[in-house]
Amino acid sequence: MKIDPQKSTDLSAQIAQAIRDAIVSGELIVDERLPSEAELADQFQVSRPTVREALKRLAAQSLIRTQRGATGGAFVNRLSFQDAYSQQITTSTLLLSMNEVSFDTACEARYALERACAPLSAQRRSADHLATMRAEIFRQAQPGLTDEAFCASDVAFHRALVDGAENPVLSYQLAGAVEAMQPLMNMITFTARSREEIIRLHSKIADALEARDAETVDAALVELETYTRRLAHDVAERRRKPA
């Protein structure tokens, strides 16, 4: 691991990259302890604060974890699906909120991906997944539910659908697509009528999954996508020329 002191970028960024490369390439393996901050400072010929800045960069990506004390230090972290999930959700959410991505574009991507899970989910969903979906449908039918709570339940429903495919990689990839839509969905006001329709489609999906009927799940997802986009479109219309 070497750094180029001539380079224009920050030393801490260079050091972080050097260590990151070592991890990605397998030179440093999971749970391996890195040299102490003092030793790293020596190796890279920089001060300890600079090394620490580099380590914090890596910690922010969950690539390392640190422990204090006699046997402490920085250790290569096994990136858990959980950590990967939350990073993906943060990144996806920010990406959508900062780049004027149209609702249609995001919605299209989300449903395209979700439909990719549907056949697998129809094949493999457990009773547990089904129970989660039914429970969320029940919650969505409660009167007096806020729009935010309705959206959150919607996300939980769709996550159960995705998780039903029993493929952790797929669940991970979808987490961003589904959760990042929530802020966009929150702009929609769900009337009693529209909630009813959504619940109807959710039920249709749950029923079809129970029957392991992939085609009907797909059809219901298409319907749901169309309906959601219509709702968003109406909101946009009403905002353009209000009452």
Partner DNA sequence: GACTTTTAAATGTCAGACAAATAAATTTTT
Partner DNA sequence: AAAAATTTATTTGTCTGACATTTAAAAGTC
The site for a second copy (CB under 8 A) is made up of 12-13, 16, 20, 23-24, 26, 30, 49, 52-54, 56-61, 63, 78-81, 84, 87-88, 90-99, 101, 105-106, 108-110, 112-113, 115-117, 120, 165, 167-170, 172-173, 176-177
Q: Report the partner that residue 98 touches, choosing among DNA, a second copy, none (CB closer than 5 to 8 A by kind).
A: a second copy
What 3-state class would DSSP assign to 65?
strand
Q: How far is CA 204 from CA 18, 215, 216, 217, in A?
A: 52, 12, 8, 7
| 11: its two tokens | 């030393």
Q: Report the partner that residue 26 touches, choosing among DNA, a second copy, none (CB closer than 5 to 8 A by kind).
A: a second copy
User: Rounded to an integer, what distance in angstroms lies between the CA atom of residue 134 and that of residue 156?
Assistant: 11
Q: Report the partner that residue 73 touches, choosing among DNA, a second copy, none (CB closer than 5 to 8 A by kind).
A: DNA
* Minimal distance, residue 185 CB to DNA, in Å: 36
Task: List 66's β-bridge partners, or say none.
Answer: 74
Of the pair 113, 156, the CB lying nearest a second copy is at 113
* Minimal distance, residue 59 CB to DNA, in Å: 8
Of the pair 71, 146, the CB lying nearest DNA is at 71
* Minimal distance, residue 189 CB to a second copy, in Å: 19
User: Rounded to an integer, what distance in angstroms lies between the CA atom of residue 168 and that of residue 174?
Assistant: 10
- Asked if 180 and 95 touch (Cβ cutoff 8 Å), the reply is yes
Of the pair 75, 197, the CB lying nearest a second copy is at 75
Q: Report the partner that residue 16 touches, choosing among a second copy, DNA, none (CB closer than 5 to 8 A by kind).
A: a second copy
Q: How far is CA 238 from CA 29, 91, 181, 241, in A?
A: 56, 30, 21, 6
User: Rounded to an integer, what distance in angstroms lies between the CA atom of residue 136 and that of residue 149?
Assistant: 11
* Minimal distance, residue 32 CB to DNA, in Å: 13
Q: How far is CA 12 from CA 32, 50, 57, 203, 240, in A?
A: 21, 5, 8, 53, 49
Of the pair 90, 226, the CB lying nearest a second copy is at 90
